[in-house]
């Protein structure tokens, strides 16, 4: 339209008063005097500023939405290619296969793993059998220890043995007192003989018998003295042992032992609860159980050792006293035998009075010895009474049986732990063997799967780069598959226009080859430009599934958007194009037409953008302007306000 000159149009108006002829054209106006003036009818609208809209156009091509090159996962010989170039395939479809004969090692590994699993199962069954047998033996020993403890406890409560020791000591004391009575009688007899100066004599047979008695009594005295020495040595050793045990264990009371036992039993209860609960992992009470077991064993053993050593020492003291009594008795018997021998065979030339005095001395010594025996017997009785009342020995036996019972109980738990550990190890071996079997099976399965080249996507085979019988390597493509579902176009966008695009923006896509247009949305904007064109590549999803759309087809995309700028837009027909290339519009002010030259910016078939010459609020003639001259009076037929969005220049 621009540059085209309008042809002059002649209007003839007739009225009752006269005739008026008006000629109007593009830039040339003439008039003839008339007898009357008629107003020209026009349509007008008020000029306003509208938001500027733009349409951008870009070129591009249809590109694959996905494209992948398929290669073998392992080295091998290609024995089959099941597709051809251009063929449509499905996701998961096998497109080629490798020679499966290379999987012999994996098959053998699987068989070996299964054999090892069978061996592990047999070992587990053996471990379970050993566990049952060992646990039964340990429980039997525990039951025997319980019986022994009950017997020792009964013995502790039965005081018959210690009471018999008291009775024996009382009898020994009575015998010693009887010996004193005899010694006193012998002394009295010797004193009477001394008083009467009695001289004794005897036959040869009597002397031989008396000498034999003296010899026997001397041997008895030696034996008793040796026993006394041994008893004193034993007492000394036991005293030393008692001192050592007291230095090692200190003073351990029965209450301490009972408390340690209760602590151990509590820990054992916690340990058994965990074990019986079949919780996974290490038993958290194992360390505490072992620690408290050690404390209890030490305290119980120490207490029993101290009690036992004390008991043995007390018995040694009693034995010394008894041996001293035996020595005293032997001395008395020897003295009596010697006196009888002396009385029966006094030495020649001896003084009878001297012999009698010697007999008195001997009898006096015998009495003293008998009195010493009484003293020793009294000490023995005192010791026996102490033993009877404190029951130390039987308590030691009962404690020893208790220790044995506890040890048997510990052994039961130890057997449980050891055999359970073996069972657990065998069970773990089975699990590991199963893992090995699964691993070998997975390896074989993976290898068999690796022998198959599978397409991960559905699409079209666009290239095949290997043939049957060819050796292939990993990472070396065998064929290429691409998909155009969904349909995607890649546009080339200049750097100056990329600012107007964003992901999700709607866009119209036209395929000239198909002469069809579709709606689409921006998928992504690639962040780098093409170095040769300095353009960005923008991917657009096209909303269609037309199978005729092929990769590589050219597309044209258009983008409509409104800017933040405003401009003045007028109907295209309101602008008069002058023959000199200028542009003229008519405004109406106070009923009179006013000519205004304007500059035009963006243009469409229906409207022009006015870049200068108009302002908002102007009343623009939109119809009838071709018949107007500047200053001509007009009649407004239709006045309307118009708000039209402008459009910019289309970019390609």
pLDDT band at 8 (very low <50, low <70, confident <90, very high): very low
| pLDDT tens by residue, 256-269 | 889 989 998 998 89
Of 155 and 290, the structure prediction assigns the larger pLDDT to 290
Neighbouring C-alpha atoms within 13 Å toward the C-beta of 610: 27
pLDDT at position 335 is 86
pLDDT at position 5 is 35
Neighbouring C-alpha atoms within 13 Å toward the C-beta of 239: 9
- Angle at CA of residue 432, ends 285 and 447, nearest 5°: 150
Mean pLDDT of 174-203: 72
pLDDT band at 52 (very low <50, low <70, confident <90, very high): confident
Mean pLDDT of 172-199: 76
Axis-axis angle for helices 392-450, 286-344 (nearest 10): 150
pLDDT at position 341 is 73
pLDDT at position 646 is 41
Say if strands 40-46 and 634-641 run parallel, antiparallel, or are unpaired: parallel
Paired residues of 524 in beta bridges: 539
| pLDDT tens by residue, 496-548 | 889 889 999 999 999 999 999 999 999 999 999 888 888 999 999 999 988 89
Q: Cite the DSSP H helix spans in 277-351.
A: 286-344
Cite the beta strand spans of 465-582 per DSSP E: 471-472, 477-483, 487-494, 506-511, 516-529, 535-542, 554-571, 576-577
407: Cβ contacts below 8 Å, ≥ 6 apart: 145, 297
Kindly state the helix (H) or strand (E) to which residue 597 belongs, with its residue range. Answer: strand 592-597
pLDDT band at 60 (very low <50, low <70, confident <90, very high): very high
- Structural contact between residues 52 and 561, judged by C-beta atoms closer than 8 angstroms: no
Mean pLDDT of 613-628: 91
CA 53 to chain centre: 62
Report the first-to-last Cα separation within the chain, whole angstroms.
22
| pLDDT tens by residue, 602-611 | 787 888 889 8
pLDDT at position 621 is 93
CA 235 to chain centre: 64
Q: What share of the chain is helix, strand, coil (3-state, %, to 5)?
A: 50, 25, 25
Q: Cite the DSSP H helix spans in 158-253.
A: 160-196, 204-249
| pTM attached to this predicted model | 0.37
User: Is 347's pLDDT higher than 70?
Assistant: no
User: Is 396's pLDDT higher than 80?
Assistant: no
Q: Which of 581, 569, 571 is nearest to 623 (CA)?
A: 571
- Structural contact between residues 103 and 448, judged by C-beta atoms closer than 8 angstroms: yes
Q: What is the DSSP letter of 628?
A: -
Residue 344 main-chain phi, psi, to 5 deg: -80, -20
646: Cβ contacts below 8 Å, ≥ 6 apart: 50, 51, 52, 53, 567, 569, 602, 607, 609
pLDDT at position 104 is 66
User: Is 130's pLDDT higher than 80?
Assistant: yes
Q: What is the DSSP letter of 348?
A: T
- Burial class from Cβ neighbours inside 10 Å (0-12, 13-18, 19+) for residue 251 reads exposed
DSSP, collapsed to helix, strand or coil, labels residue 401 as helix
pLDDT at position 444 is 65
User: Is 201's pLDDT higher than 70?
Assistant: no
Mean pLDDT of 157-162: 67
What are the sequence ranges of the domains in the chain?
39-55+563-647, 59-96+461-561, 160-390
User: Is 84's pLDDT higher than 80?
Assistant: yes
Kindly state the helix (H) or strand (E) to which residue 144 belongs, with its residue range. Answer: helix 104-157
CA 59 to CA 491: how far, in whole Å?
6
Average pLDDT over the chain, rounded to an integer: 81
User: Is 552's pLDDT higher than 50?
Assistant: yes
- Structural contact between residues 49 and 40, judged by C-beta atoms closer than 8 angstroms: no
User: Is 31's pLDDT higher than 80?
Assistant: no
Q: Which fold has domain 39-55+563-647?
A: 2.40.420
CA 148 to CA 156: how far, in whole Å?
12
CA 362 to CA 374: how far, in whole Å?
18
**Neighbour-count burial for 399-433, b at 16+ CB within 10 Å, e otherwise:** bbbbbbbbbbbbbbbebbbbbbebbeebbebbeeb
pLDDT at position 645 is 40
CA 636 to CA 330: how far, in whole Å?
172
pLDDT at position 446 is 65
pLDDT at position 651 is 39
CA 461 to CA 455: how far, in whole Å?
10
DSSP, collapsed to helix, strand or coil, labels residue 38 as coil
| pLDDT tens by residue, 318-344 | 888 888 888 888 888 888 887 777 766
pLDDT at position 544 is 92
> Residue written as tokens 């302007």?
625
Q: The domain 59-96+461-561 is classified under which CATH number: 2.40.30.170, 3.30.2320.30, 1.10.260.40, 2.120.10.30?
A: 2.40.30.170
pLDDT at position 61 is 94
pLDDT at position 206 is 61
pLDDT at position 475 is 83
Highest mean pLDDT pick, 105-119, 411-425, 446-460, 583-597 = 583-597
pLDDT-above-90 percentage for the chain: 21
Mean pLDDT of 281-295: 88
pLDDT at position 281 is 83
Mean pLDDT of 51-68: 87
pLDDT at position 344 is 64
Mean pLDDT of 398-412: 87
pLDDT band at 400 (very low <50, low <70, confident <90, very high): confident
pLDDT at position 447 is 65
317: Cβ contacts below 8 Å, ≥ 6 apart: 235, 383
- Concatenated DSSP letters for 453-494? EE-SS-EEEEEE---TT-EE-TTSEEEEEEE-SSEEEEEEEE
- Minimum mean pLDDT range among 124-133, 154-163, 445-454, 630-639: 154-163
pLDDT at position 14 is 26
Give the alpha-carbon dihedral of 372, 377, 380, 382, to 10 degrees. -100
- Work out the number of other CB atoms within 10 angstroms of the CB of residue 75: 13
CA 439 to CA 113: how far, in whole Å?
9
- Structural contact between residues 431 and 116, judged by C-beta atoms closer than 8 angstroms: no
pLDDT band at 172 (very low <50, low <70, confident <90, very high): confident
Mean pLDDT of 374-392: 78
pLDDT at position 20 is 33
pLDDT at position 62 is 93
């Amino acid at each position: 339209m621009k540059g085209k000159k309008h042809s002059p149009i002649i209007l003839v108006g007739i009225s009752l008063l006269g005739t008026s002829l008006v000629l109007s054209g593009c830039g040339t106006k003439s008039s003839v005097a008339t007898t009357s003036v008629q107003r020209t009818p026009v349509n007008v609208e008020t000029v306003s500023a509208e938001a500027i809209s733009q349409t951008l156009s870009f070129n591009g091509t249809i590109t694959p939405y996905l494209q992948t090159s398929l290669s073998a996962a392992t080295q091998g010989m290609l024995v089959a290619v099941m597709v051809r170039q251009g063929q449509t395939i499905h996701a998961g479809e096998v497109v080629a296969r490798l020679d499966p004969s290379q999987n012999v090692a994996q098959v053998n590994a699987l068989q070996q793993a299964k054999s090892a699993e069978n061996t592990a199962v047999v070992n587990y069954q053996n471990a379970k059998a050993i566990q049952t047998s060992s646990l039964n033996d340990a429980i039997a020993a525990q039951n025997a220890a319980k019986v022994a403890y009950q017997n020792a406890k009964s013995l502790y409560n039965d005081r018959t043995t210690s009471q018999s020791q008291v009775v024996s000591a009382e009898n020994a004391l009575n015998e010693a007192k009887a010996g004193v009575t005899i010694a006193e009688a012998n002394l009295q007899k010797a004193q009477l003989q001394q008083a009467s100066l009695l001289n004794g004599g005897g036959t040869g047979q009597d002397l031989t018998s008396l000498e034999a008695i003296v010899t026997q009594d001397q041997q008895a005295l030696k034996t008793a003295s040796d026993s006394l020495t041994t008893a004193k040595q034993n007492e000394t050793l036991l005293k030393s042992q008692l001192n050592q045990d007291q230095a090692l264990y200190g003073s351990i009371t029965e209450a301490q032992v009972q408390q340690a036992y209760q602590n151990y039993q509590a820990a054992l209860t916690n340990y058994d609860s965990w074990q019986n609960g079949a919780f996974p992992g290490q038993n958290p009470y194992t360390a505490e159980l072992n620690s408290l077991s050690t404390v209890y064993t030490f305290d119980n053993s120490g207490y029993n050792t101290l009690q036992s050593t004390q008991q043995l020492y007390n018995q040694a003291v009693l034995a010394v006293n008894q041996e001293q009594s035996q020595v005293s008795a032997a001395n008395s018997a020897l003295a009596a035998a010697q006196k009888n021998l002396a009385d029966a065979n006094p030495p020649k030339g001896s003084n009878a009075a001297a012999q009698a005095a010697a007999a008195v001395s001997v009898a006096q010594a015998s009495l003293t010895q008998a009195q010493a025996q009484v003293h020793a017997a009294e000490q023995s009785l005192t010791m026996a009474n102490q033993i009877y009342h404190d029951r130390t020995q039987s308590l030691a036996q009962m404690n020893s049986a208790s220790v044995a019972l506890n040890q048997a109980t510990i052994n039961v738990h130890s057997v449980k732990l050891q055999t359970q550990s073996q069972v657990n190890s065998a069970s773990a071996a089975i699990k590991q063997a199963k893992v090995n079997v699964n691993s070998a099976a997975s390896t074989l399965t993976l290898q068999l799967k690796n022998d198959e080249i599978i397409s991960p996507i559905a699409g079209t085979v666009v290239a095949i780069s290997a043939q049957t019988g060819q050796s292939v390597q990993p990472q070396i493509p065998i064929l290429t598959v691409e998909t155009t579902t969904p349909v995607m176009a890649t546009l080339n966008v200049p750097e100056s226009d990329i600012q107007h695009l964003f992901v999700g923006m709607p866009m119209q896509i036209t395929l000239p080859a198909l002469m069809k247009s579709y709606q689409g949305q921006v998928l992504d904007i690639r962040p780098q430009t093409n170095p040769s064109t300095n353009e960005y590549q923008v991917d657009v999803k096209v909303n269609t599934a037309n199978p005729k759309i092929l990769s590589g087809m050219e597309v044209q995309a258009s983008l409509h958007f409104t800017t933040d700028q405003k401009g003045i837009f007028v109907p295209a027909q309101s602008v008069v194009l002058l023959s000199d290339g200028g542009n003229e519009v008519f405004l109406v002010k106070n009923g009179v037409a006013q000519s205004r030259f304007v500059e035009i910016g963006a243009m469409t078939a229906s409207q022009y953008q006015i870049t200068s010459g108009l302002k908002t609020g102007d009343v623009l003639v939109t119809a009838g302007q071709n018949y107007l001259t500047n200053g001509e009076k007009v009649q407004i037929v239709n006045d309307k306000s118009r708000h039209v969005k402008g459009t910019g220049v289309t970019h390609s």
